[in-house]
Structure 1
Amino acid sequence: MEQTMTAEKRYKKWIVTFSIVIPLLVAVLFGIKIPNAEPLTFLPPIYATINGLTAVLLVVAFFAIKSGNMKLHQRLMKTCIGLSVAFLAMYMAYHMTSDSTPFGGTGWVRNLYFFILISHILLSIVIIPLVLITFVRGFFGEYKRHAKIARYTFPLWLYVAVSGVVVYLMISPYYVN
């Protein structure tokens, strides 16, 4: 137990670092355009699909652990983390090579779009430390503590994944090819 806590404490430094650096890096890189780069306009449907796949796998992982299939749950959660990293890389590559697409909807649809977008962005920042803490606790066998935080991590991560798809579907008619 003490050895586990020591390892978790060691990883807390990395969790805090990643939880601060990733959003700051995204904010900085979002404002950087690679000169003369070919716009990577094919990426949004790919990273939206990755968000959708992440959502599906999160639900499957939830049912896997509820049915006692820990190995499947662990593999699926590692896959979800990998998909989230792939999403982030593609999202940044797109925005570093392409202009942002303004939303063209009006009225209540515009308000709904911005509500979903803003909540998606804010929760995508919040979810970073939650996912990392939840993962580390599970990895080191702190299952009660893992389950305690997973109650919050799962629905928030699922919302971020699903809302990413919804944001894409709402803005996709306004992409310029």
Structure 2
Amino acid sequence: MLEDTSKSTKRYNIWIWILSIIIPIVVAVLFTVRIPGVERLDFLPPIYATTNAITAILLVLAVIQIKKGNRNAHELLMKSCIVLSALFLVMYVVYHMTSDSTPYGGEGVIRYVYFFILITHIVLSITVIPFVLLTYVRAISGQFRKHKKIARITFPLWLYVAVTGVIVYLMISPYY
């Protein structure tokens, strides 16, 4: 049985790394594509910002639930976070396939704050992909000690990405 788990884990790890490389590349490529005949989908940014906010709340609730020993609620909340993050990514890409990027209009120190938050958000949103996938695989494969160890890294990264996604939206929304 251990051999099967090891083979399965290796297979998962290969897919985790493939997805962790392919997702950012596909997103970057799709940013150069425009869907002809489709107008700007201006209704999407507040929706995907709300999706980020809900993800952040559910991440915190998931940690609370696991600390209470409620594994089922934790699992449901974490699966919801993964689905919400995937929905966010789809909406984000679709929006940018129909719209040019909005330049930030703030001036002075706030401009530097915005770009710091934006850059760290983008870098960590790419970085968190393998962490989320690896953390999830360790949970579904019953490797709870390893799951808990990596979750301590994944949680703050993912929470930062979710929260800063909302902050970036709030800071740029006056310039849409």
TM-score range relative to shorter protein: over 0.9
Distance 1:143 1:2 in 2: 18
| Residue of structure 2 in register with 1:73 after alignment | 74
What RMSD, in angstroms, separates the aligned Cα atoms of the two structures? 0.7
Give distance in 2, aligned partners of 1:92 and 1:49.
Answer: 16
Give structure 2 stretches of 5+ with no counterpart.
Answer: none
Q: Distance in 2 between matches of 1:34 and 1:143?
A: 44
- Structure 1 range deviating more: 29-38 or 43-52: 29-38
Moved more, 34-43 or 127-136: 34-43
Give the count of matched residue pairs: 175
Q: Does 1:117 align with 2:118?
A: yes
Look up the match of 2:105. 104
* 2-structure distance, mates of 1:107, 1:56: 31
How many angstroms does 1:68 deviate by?
0.3
Shift of 1:8: 1.1
Measure, in 1, the Cα distance between the counterparts of 2:78 and 2:8.
20
Aligned to 1:161: 162
Distance in 2, Cα, partners of 1:24 & 1:10? 21
CA distance in 2, matches of 1:112, 1:153: 24
Give the 4+ runs in structure 1 shifted more than 4 A. none
In the aligned structure 2, how far is the partner of 1:63 from the partner of 1:136? 21
Match of 2:38 in 1: 37
Q: For 1:136 and 1:145, how far apart are their aligned partners in 2?
A: 10
Q: Which runs of 5+ in 1 are unaligned?
A: none
Distance 1:167 1:161 in 2: 10
TM-score (structure 2 length as normaliser): 0.98
**1:139-158: CA deviations, max 9, x gaps?**
11100000110010000000
